Structure formats: C-alpha cells, structure tokens
Structure 1
Amino acid sequence: MNFTLGAAVHSERVIKKSRFIGCVQPVADRAAALLVVDALRAEHPGAAHVCWALMAGGQSAANDDGEPGGTAGRPMLEVLRHQHLDGVLATVVRYFGGVKLGAGGLVRAYTDAIAQALLGATTIAQVRQRALACSVPYALEGAVRRELAAVGAALGDVRHETDVHVAFTVPEPAAAGLIESIGNAAQGRVVWQQA
C-alpha cells in the first residue's frame, strides 16, 4: 500500500557550514512539483542548489541541480520509495558553506534532510477512488445524498434537469456496496451513467 502526506513538513540542518533546508509535501503531479521548485528558487535566490525528487506514479523524477550526479536527487527519491510514498515531492535547498562534503557526504546530507522532515510527517493511506454518475427522480435526490454521505463519497457535479444527475467519487472498496445501496434506496429508479 502506498501513502501520501497530510501536509508539508520542513527540516533544517547545518553540516560543515552548509545549510540544508529540507521539505516533503504532497503534490498532485509533476507540473505542480515544478511550480513548487520554481517558487523555492525565487524564495532562495542566494542558494547554491535546489535539489528535488518526486514520487508520483509514472511521473517520478529526480534532479541534482548542479550537485555531482547521483548525490542529491536520486538518494532523496530512494528515501521516498523506501517509505512507500506516492504523490510526494522532496526538496532540499542548499546554501554552500565553503567546505566540500564529497560524494558520500552529499548523499548523507540530502538523505538526512529528507529523513528528518519525514519524522514529523503525517502519512495517509492512499485509497483508489472510483468515479460514478447516476440520475434519479427529484424525489430521490435526498436518499442518494444520504447514501453518499454514509460511505464518505465525494460529491461532484449535480445537475437538475428532467431528473437529477449526480456525479461522485467513492473509495474503490465501497463502490459495489454503494451501487447496491443507491439501487435499493431508489427502488430501481436509478440510471447509471458513464462517469
């Protein structure tokens, strides 16, 4: 099972006069991650490096931002992978202190910055969601809404036309039971649609 984070968490370390500011945070995709990295570059114009790693399904990536190859982004990515995280961006802003750390020292510094941030993080289990849509007569809208609330489904678009069209997402494990519950509550007057 994969996990994501509830909120951004930061850490800060000074190693041989270099300052490492680490952060782990939930992100939706690579585009959102790149916006965060760009914002960090703008926020820390004096930083020598803004290294990052992203675990986001097929969009995973790592960037050393000028550090020797494989000493920053890839080790940070391995920390995320080891923790079974997905939809998570790890960033480390480094202010160079004048003392070179060597390849091993850099790997330790970047992994430690992310590991320290993760110590304070709240992880949330990722549950696959299923998108569903149906239409029911107006008189049954309240019953459908109650069934959705009972299983924690997220209500989406609701259109009031000839019937009430309701779109929603529900955790995959609860989908079959919800379809049955809505069918029973609607007494067979529900029409399932392509979500």
Structure 2
Amino acid sequence: MSRLFTLAAPATYREEIRKSRFVAHAAPVSDAGQALAFFASRSDPAATHNCWAYRIGAAYRFNDDGEPGGTAGRPILQAIDGQSCDRVAVLVVRWFGGILLGAGGLMRAYGGCAASCLRLADKLPVVDTVAARFECPFADLRLLKSRLGEFGAIVTGEDFGAAGVAVRLELPREHAGALAQALAGLSRGRIALEVSD
C-alpha cells in the first residue's frame, strides 16, 4: 500500500477558467463532523456553487451542489485520492462567469483546482496509531515514562491505584512491538504492554 499524507495546515488555490472564478480550500480533518464544519465555514452563499469532497480512511463523501451529477464532487474526491491524501477535506467554490464549460470542462475545472490546491499544500505522512496500556509500580514510573518518547508514544492518561499506576498511551502501530520489548527488558519481564485494536 502506498504512503498516505494529510495536510500540515489549511491551503487555498485560486484560478479563473473561461471567466468563471474557482477557489479551492483544503484542510486536514479527523472526522466527518470536522469536514462538514470546515465546508460550512468556508462556503460562500453568494457563490454559484460550493462543491466538496472528503476522505477519512475508508469513509468519503462528495457533493455537486447543483452542478450536473458527477461533474464536481467526484472529481474533487479523485484529486484527493490521486494526490495520495487521507484525512483531508476539499471545498471548491465557483462563481459562474457566463460561459458554459460542459460536463468534461466542469470535471477538469473542479478536479484540477482541487489537485493544484493539494499539490501546493504542505503535507505530513499519515501515521497509523494504536491505543495501549501498561501497569507498573510507582518506583518504575519515572524511568518508563522517560523512555516512551523514543517510540513516539504519548501518554493519554494515568490511573493511580494502591499497588502502582496504569498508564494509557497512544503510539504508532509500527513501534508497538519495540515498546513492548523495551518495557519487558526494563522490568525484567514484569511489565507487559497491552495493545487494543
């Protein structure tokens, strides 16, 4: 599977095509609600069309906003996929300039603006993370927490009990095995990492 990317920050691209003005807005998103909120915040009610698409893992949606079916939202989604992007939302706003573009022209305009916006945006690789936890005595907590950064792990919570601490964390899936080995080695096999999927 090829490497996927998300955006480091929102991006904007403007283009005029046969007197119609197109503005593409792209942003990183983590869920559908965030994507829809982004579209609502960047849509222009005075524009002729506000067409959009998003992809978040296997989930995706697109909207033609009054353009002929399949000429706007789907090409935007294809641009997202064509740029190997994930967790990304793209809105393309169009102000009609009086010249009809035809179905093929609309597809090229919407898809091309979206692709140009994504091509110019700063990207970050999408990292597949997992939630995990381990329990340790109070005396070992400081040492173990000091080593978590080596594996890209982030502590998401701690539960203190009478015998010790249960540490909850999130880390890149590819580092889970190495962290499990490190915890076992540091504790002489007493501490096990439990990964939840």
In the superposition, the TM-score normalised over structure 2's length comes to: 0.91
* 1:71 alignment partner, SS class: coil
Q: CA deviation at 1:107?
A: 1.1
Range 65-74 or range 125-134, more displaced: 125-134
List runs of 5+ in structure 1 lacking aligned partners: none
Counterpart for residue 36 of structure 2: 34
Counterpart for residue 177 of structure 1: 178
* 2:188 alignment partner, SS class: coil
* C-alpha distance 115-193 of structure 1, shift in aligned 2 (>3 A): closer
* 1:93 alignment partner, SS class: strand
Range 69-78 or range 150-159, more displaced: 150-159
- Cα separation, 2, equivalents of 1:77 and 1:10: 16
Q: CA deviation at 1:11?
A: 0.2
Please tell me whether residue 22 in structure 1 is matched to residue 24 in structure 2. yes
Aligned-residue identity in percent: 36
Number of equivalences: 193
Counterpart for residue 102 of structure 2: 102
* 2:105 alignment partner, SS class: helix
List runs of 5+ in structure 2 lacking aligned partners: none
- Cα separation, 1, equivalents of 2:26 and 2:45: 20
- Cα separation, 1, equivalents of 2:45 and 2:12: 19
CA displacement, residues 82-136 of structure 1 (integer Å, 9 cap, x when unaligned): 2221111111011122222111221111112112212221222222212110111
Q: CA deviation at 1:78?
A: 0.9
Counterparts of 1:12-91 in structure 2 under 5 Å? 12-41=14-43, 44-91=44-91
In the superposition, the TM-score normalised over structure 1's length comes to: 0.91
- Cα separation, 1, equivalents of 2:133 and 2:50: 43
- Cα separation, 2, equivalents of 1:28 and 1:123: 15
Range 24-33 or range 67-76, more displaced: 24-33
* C-alpha distance 165-12 of structure 1, shift in aligned 2 (>3 A): same
Q: CA deviation at 1:192?
A: 4.5
* 1:78 alignment partner, SS class: helix
CA RMSD of aligned residues (A): 1.6
